[in-house]
Amino acid sequence: MANRSSQNEDQNFITREETKSKKAEIDAKIKENVVTSGTIFIIKFADILNANNSSPEVISHYMQRVLHSIFFIGYVSKPRVYPEEFIPEKILESFKEKFPGPFKDYLSHVPHQTPYSILLEFMSENKNCNEPKILMQELWEINKSLWKTDTNIGYQPVANDFTATVIAYSCYGDINGNNNVNSAYGSSISCKGRVPRRIMIHISVLQVWDLAISYAVCQEGDSPALVFPNQVCCKAYNFHCNSNCFLEVPPCAKCMKSFRGVKFNPPCENPDDDPTWPYGNCAENESLNKLLKGCQDLRSRILTEKNIQGKQMDIIEIETMFKKEKEEKLKKNLKNLLGSQNITLRKDNRKLQSFQPM
């Protein structure tokens, strides 16, 4: 009996050790992917800024924001990645000298956007992007170079943690593309890992997005949803590594339920299928948020669906409802998420301090 029990203990010990070493192997792979993806992103983004003949001020502004966002996401990732690990050794000192802010503030300030969302903002502000197809072609070329691929397994990405695979384009006004059209691009939340992704969605909902979008995201498809005027259209594009372009993609059921009245093109294919990703993840949120923030006339026309008493809320009532019913719970969630990564951030006027490039 004694022998059998010690055999069992030995086996248990071996199994525990095997599990531990497997976990360490998986963790090392995850970390390697985050580091490789971050490094590729930083180098490519520096190339894009330089190739565009941007002024030193513009280069510094965008580079600081991208570095800070990558450093913050690296720190809240599991396993943790420190800023120095993202920058190749030979350029580390010059980066610290040129961009000291992100190295100093990545633990005390939150980023407002993922790195890819900042890249998209730069591209849409600095290129001729009235025609989505032209921008999508440029982004396709960029995405291709952001993905470390492995041709042995069918040209599959092995490190693409900071690349957005879906871009959405929204417009308000004349949908035939004539005068007076407001338009905006947005990307899906482009970071891997459950905790970093949830943290970025919470920051977006609490500190970045128009509160009408935050409200819609928090409703999680429940009534009453937002109702947009019918001059709002939205198109999304999905990046396929093997094809030669971004392909148009219909919205998911979550977006269709949350943003009523928007003309999605192509339309939602499976309105009853709830996708597995979290609310707030889709590119449509960021795109519609920017559209709303850039157009007061559109904001004033946003309503909710009628409730059972037949009443619709306007934008002021939606904001009040969000603050009253959703905000405190979300703040607590965010505090817990950050706490789980040992981060305690200072507040500034009841909000977490946001990173500002110097």
- Residues forming contacts to Zn ion in the complex (CB under 5 A) are 252, 254-255, 282
Phi, psi of 251 (to 5 degrees): -70, 160
Q: Give the nearest distance from C-beta 226 to Zn ion in angstroms.
A: 14
Closer to Zn ion by Cβ: residue 45 or 264:
264
Q: Give the nearest distance from C-beta 138 to Zn ion in angstroms.
A: 24
Q: Give the nearest distance from C-beta 227 to Zn ion in angstroms.
A: 17
Q: How far is CA 20 from CA 12, 14, 33, 80, 194, in A?
A: 12, 10, 20, 18, 21
Closer to Zn ion by Cβ: residue 67 or 216:
216
- Spatial CA neighbour of 233 closest among 174, 187, 191, 154: 174
Closer to Zn ion by Cβ: residue 68 or 254:
254
- How far from each other are the two terminal CA atoms of the chain, in whole angstroms? 71
Please return the burial class of 54, using the count of CB atoms within 10 Å of its CB with bins 0-12, 13-18 and 19+.
middle
User: Residue 227 belongs to what H/E stretch?
Assistant: strand 226-227
Closer to Zn ion by Cβ: residue 33 or 188:
188
- Spatial CA neighbour of 210 closest among 282, 290, 279: 290
Q: Which residues does 311 contact at the CB level (< 8 Å), separation at least 6?
A: none
Closer to Zn ion by Cβ: residue 59 or 255:
255
Q: Give the nearest distance from C-beta 160 to Zn ion in angstroms.
A: 20
Q: Which residues does 292 contact at the CB level (< 8 Å), separation at least 6?
A: 210, 212, 213, 298, 299, 302
Q: Give the nearest distance from C-beta 198 to Zn ion in angstroms.
A: 16
Closer to Zn ion by Cβ: residue 161 or 286:
286
Q: Give the nearest distance from C-beta 282 to Zn ion in angstroms.
A: 3
Q: Give the nearest distance from C-beta 284 to Zn ion in angstroms.
A: 5
**Measured distance CA(106)–CA(116) in Å, rounded:** 17
Q: Give the nearest distance from C-beta 144 to Zn ion in angstroms.
A: 24
**Measured distance CA(25)–CA(265) in Å, rounded:** 43
Closer to Zn ion by Cβ: residue 50 or 270:
270
Let me know: does 199 contact 125? Beta carbons within 8 Å.
no
Closer to Zn ion by Cβ: residue 217 or 255:
255
